[in-house]
Chain A
Amino acid sequence: MSHLFDHHGAPGQGYAQPAPVLPASSIVLPDSLVRKSAPRWPRISEPEMVRHYTWLSKRNFGIDTGFYPLGSCTMKHNPRVNEVIAQLPGIADIHPHQPEHHLQGLLSIYHEMQHMLEIVAGMDQVTLQPVAGAQGEFTAVRCVQEYFRLRGEDQRTKVIVPDSAHGTNPASAAMCGFEIVEIPSRVDGRIDLDALRAVADETTAVMMITNPNTLGLFEADILEASAIVHGVGGQMYYDGANFNAIIGITSPGLMGFDAVHFNLHKTFSQPHGGGGPGSGPIGVKAHLADFLPGPIVKKRPIMGDEAKHAIDDMWFGWYEPTHSIGKVQQWHGNAGAIIRCWAYYRRYGNGLTTMSQHAVLNANYLRHVLHREAELAGVSDMIVDGAETDVAKHEFTISLGPAKEKHGISAMDVAKGLLDMGYMAPTVYFPLVVPECMMIEPTETESKETLDTFAKDFAIVLQVDAETLHAAPITTPVRRVDEVYAARNLCLRHPYDDD
C-alpha cells in the first residue's frame, strides 16, 4: 500500500521554488488575516510522489487498459494527438478575458465546432458554453423556460420524461423549477404514445427524450411523439447521450426536436478522466436562439487593420444573444475539451457517418456473438434480451433475470466475474425498466477480435457456479467493496492521529 499521508519528510521537501521578488519579511498582514496553523499536508519528494501516483494508476482501469463496454458512457479510444494539441500554449496559456484579437485562432475553432454541430444535429444555433451533459440539459431547459416566459405562457410548469430516462433529465428540469411528470415506457422500453397523449396538455413545457433510447433502441414513433408535444404547444428536447449512434443517419432536427445537448466527451472523445472533464454544448432551433447563454462566436469579413490578427481574412467575434439566460459557467465553456473534440472531428470530417455506422455495427455484432457463444456454451437460458428487437443501435441491453431466478446469479455477480476476466463491467441495473439489466456499449474503436473474445469470456463467466461468482472478483487490487460499510462508517478524509 502507498499512502500519501504516510510521507512525513523534512519541512520544505517536495518542490523547490525560486526566491520571491521581495523577502518574505516585507509581507505584512494583520493578525486577524494570518493563518495560524499550516495544512497537515504530506511532505513528499518528487521521486516518491511520482511513484505514489504511478502505483495508484496501476490500480485503475481505463480504456487504455482494456475493453470498457460501459453502456451509455461511450468509452471509445482517445486519439493521442488530441492531448498533444491541448497542451499547446495557444490553448493552455490563454485567458478568456483576453481581447478578441488575441484569440482569433480559438474563436475560429469555436466557430467551426458550432457550425459542425449545427449540421450534424439539424439545429440553427449552437453554444459551446455548458461544460457537461447535465449542464447542457439544464441550460436548454432554462432557455425554453425563458422562451415561454417571454411569450406569457407561464402556465407551462411541467416537464415530461420517460421512466427509462437518465437521472440527469429529471434532476436538470427540477433545478429549473419544473414539475416532473414521469411516463411509463412500453415493455420494450420505447415511448408509450398513449401515456404521452394522456399527460400532454397546455401545462407541458418540455418533453425530454433520448433517441436511441437508454435501451439502445431507435424510437421509430419519434415524429408522432414530437407531433403530440408540439400539438399542445410544448417543446421537444433531445438528450444527446446516445448521439454516437446516429451522426449522418438522422438528426434531432429531422426528428422534430427544438433543442439538443451534445456530450462532446462521449461522441467526440474528450478523455473521461475518471469522472470528468466533459463538455456539453447545446443546439437549438431558430426560435430559441435568442435565449442561449453567450458568448457565441460569429464571423464576418475583416475591416480596417484587422488583417494582421485575422485568419483567412475573416474576423471571429463574441456575440451575446438578445434575451440570453446569462451564464451557466463563468468562462467560455471547457475550451480545452472543445479543442480536443475539434481535433477528433477533423480526424473524421464527413466520415462521422462511418463512425456511427461502425458504432452500430459493433454493438449489433457483439449482441449476436454474445448470444451465439452463450448458446454454444449451453448457457443461453441465463440471459434474455432487455428488449425485443431486430436491431439495436450503438448499445444493447440484456437481462440476467433468468440467471437470477434459476441460479441466484445477479447482474452484479456477472459484472464482478467480468472484472476477473480483465474487462471493465458493462453498466448494471440501468435502465431500471429491465430486470437485472446489463447495458453494453462496445463503441466503434474495438476490433472484431476483441468483441469475439469478450463474447467467449462472457459465456465462460455465465458457466461459473453461483458461489464462486458471489466471491468474485478475486484478481483485482481489492475484492468486493463494502459500500454499506462505507456509508455507515463515514470516513471522508484521512484520520490524523491528533484529530
Chain B
Amino acid sequence: MVDQLPNLGREAEMLAIMGMSSIEDLFADVPDEVRMKGPLPLRDPQSEEEIIADARRLLGSNVALGERVSFLGAGLYRNYVPAAVFQLITRGEFLTSYTPYQPEVSQGMLQAMWEFQTLISELVGLPIANLSLYDGSTAAAEAITCCVRVHTRKATQKDTVYVSELTPPDRMSVVENYCQGAEIKIKLLRHNPDGTVNLSSAQDAAGSCGVYVEQPNPIGVLDGGLPLLKEILGEHTALIVAVQPISLGLVEAPGVYGADIVVGEGQPLGSPITGGGPIYGIFACSQPYLRLMPGRIVGRSIDVDGKEAFCLTLSTREQHIRRHRATSNICTNETLIALMGAMHMSLLGPEGLHDLAVRNMAACTLGKQKLSSIEGIHLPHASSHHFQEFVIELPGTASDCLAYLDSVGIVGGFDLHRWYADRPNWLLVSFTDQTHANQIELLAAHLELWAADQGVTA
C-alpha cells in the first residue's frame, strides 16, 4: 500500500467530476501497441520503517571511512563540516525549492547564492563566480571549452589547449568528452621530476587558447612556479588553475598571480564525500570570460519600489534562451551543496579558513616526517612542498600494500597505478583536519612492518 498519494481512494469521485468513469479514460490517447501489459515486475511497496531498516542493513555493510583510519583523498577529502550546516539545509524552504524563476518568492536562495559568489570570488581572487557546476572535473572541462570560445580567434595555436600531464585519467576523460564536439586539440603540459610544471613546456603553450594546471597538483605538490606561468603564456592564453579550496587559507589565491579562470572541487568546503556526489564544482573567472562562461549567475538589482532585490542574470548565455548556441547545456546544477559551502565559509571566516588550512597541512607535514624516515620507503617529491597529500614509493606494489593495511583496519591511500601505468609502487597518502597524530603513528608502524617484510621476500 502506497502512503504518499493524498487522492488514493478518491479516484472515482474526481473522475466523475470530469465526466469519466475509469482511470483508463485518462490514457485513451496512448495507443494499444505501445501499452505495457500487466503489472510492473517489481517488488511490492514498502513502509517507511521497512525502507529505513533495509537502508541501514545495506548501507551499514559499506565501510564508512569514519569507522577506519583513512588516508584516502585523491581529490575528495574528509573535512569536518559544522553541525549548523546540516541543520540549516534541511529547511524545506531551501531544500524543496527549485531554480529561482520567480525572484519575488526566491530572494532567500538568490541572496545566499550571490553571497556564495562573493565568498568564492574573495577566496580565489577573481571578480566573478557562478553558482556551481556539477563537480571539479566538469568545472575543468567547462573552463577549457570557455577559454577556447574566448581566445581561439586571436590564438596562434587555434582550438588548442594544454592540460597538465598529471591530470587523473577520469578527470581527463570528462575533459575529452566535453572538448571533442568543439574539435578542441588537447596537448599535454609536462612536469619536472619533482612534480612542478616544466616551464619550457609552458613556453610551448604560449599562443594556445589556455593552460590547465592544478594547485596543489594531483600528486599533492604545491608548485611555486605557477606564479611565473601567466607571464610566459601572455594575455591571449588563459591560465586555468584548479584548487583545493581549503588550501587557499595558506596558499596564494590564483587570481593574484594572473589566473584567468579558477575551478575546483568545492566538496571540502561544506560537503561530506558522499561517494563522490552530490558535490559541487567551483567556477570563477575574470571579466573577459563573463559573457561566454557557463552556469547560472545571480545579480543584485532593485524591485519596483527601488528596494534591493536579487535575480538570475546574463541568462541569454543559457540553454533555455540560447538553445543550441548556449555556452553550456547545464540546467540543474548543485545549488544546495554550494549553499552548504557558503554556510561553512561563513562560519569559518578568514581566520577559521587559515586555521583549517593549517590543520590539514600540519597533519601532512607530520605524515611526511614520519613516513620519510621508514626504511624502504622513499618520497619521490620530498624536496617539494605539499599541502595535504604526497606520494610514497614502496618496496612492492601499492595494491599489495593497501591490501595489507586494509587487513589491519587502515584505508591506506590511493594506488597511483590506477592513474599512471608506469607507477605500480606509488601510493598517494592524504591527510586532513580529521587526521590525528596517533593515526599517523599507526600508519607509519604498519608501513614499516610491511616494508620490512618486502625486504625479506625480495
Contact = CB atoms under 8 A, between A and B. Distances in A.
Given A46-B347, A167-B320, A167-B326, A22 B362 contact: yes
B26 A174 contact: no
Contact of A39 (B343, B353, B385): B353
B62 A331 contact: no
Contact of A353 (B39, B67, B111, B222): B39
A419 B105 contact: yes
A177 B332 contact: no
A189 B458 CA distance: 73
A171 B323 contact: yes
Given A168-B319, A346-B50, A391-B29, 14 more contacts: A20-B362, A32-B227, A59-B107, A68-B98, A85-B55, A94-B62, A94-B65, A98-B65, A109-B59, A167-B318, A329-B137, A336-B274, A343-B55, A355-B5
Nearest to B103: A481
A317 to B, nearest CB: 15
Contacts of A178: 181
A163 to B, nearest CB: 10
Interface stretch (B169-177, B374-382, B389-397): B169-177
24 contacts: A4-B115, A20-B358, A21-B362, A21-B363, A24-B358, A26-B365, A33-B222, A41-B353, A88-B60, A90-B58, A93-B66, A94-B64, A97-B72, A97-B76, A104-B62, A265-B332, A274-B109, A331-B276, A331-B277, A333-B277, A346-B46, A389-B29, A424-B105, A489-B301
B349 A13 contact: yes
B118 interface: yes
Interface stretch (B151-159, B230-238, B334-342): B334-342
A498 interface: no
B35 A250 contact: yes
B98 A272 contact: yes
B23 A361 contact: yes
Contacts, number: 684
B430 to A, nearest CB: 10
Given A445-B6, A482-B304, A97 B227 contact: no
Nearest to B75: A330
A78 B251 contact: no
A447 B6 contact: yes
B166 interface: no
Nearest to A483: B311
Interface stretch (B8-16, B186-194, B442-450): B8-16
A487 B299 contact: yes
A150 interface: no
A151 interface: no
Interface stretch (A197-205, A275-283, A375-383, A400-408): A275-283
A276 B96 contact: no
A116 to B, nearest CB: 6
Given A35-B251, A333-B277, A249 B30 contact: yes
Contacts of B423: none
Given A56-B111, A391-B25, A119 B42 contact: yes
Q: Could you say which of A70, A93, A218, A360 has the most chain B C-beta atoms within 10 Å of its C-beta?
A: A93
A153 interface: no
A91 B275 contact: yes
Interface in B112-153: 112-115, 117-119, 121-123, 127-129, 131-132, 134-138
A493 B129 contact: yes
A494 B127 CA distance: 10
Given A39-B119, A351-B2, A274 B98 contact: yes
A333 B352 CA distance: 31
A326 interface: yes
Interface stretch (A135-143, A228-236, A296-304, A458-466): A135-143
Contact of B88 (A54, A95, A357): A54
Interface residues of B, number: 202
Nearest to A420: B104
A221 to B, nearest CB: 9
Interface in A270-314: 271-278, 280, 309, 311
Contact of A330 (B136, B303, B335): B136
Interface in B213-255: 222, 224, 227, 248-253
Contacts of B333: 132, 275-277
Contacts of B54: 346
Interface string B63-82: 11111001010111010001
B97 A272 contact: yes
A493 B31 contact: no
Interface in A390-439: 390-391, 415-416, 419, 424-425, 427, 430
B46 A102 contact: no
A473 B276 CA distance: 41
A173 to B, nearest CB: 7
Contacts of B276: 95-96, 330-333, 335
Contacts of A152: none
A254 B36 contact: yes
B421 interface: no
Nearest to A241: B331
Nearest to B297: A492
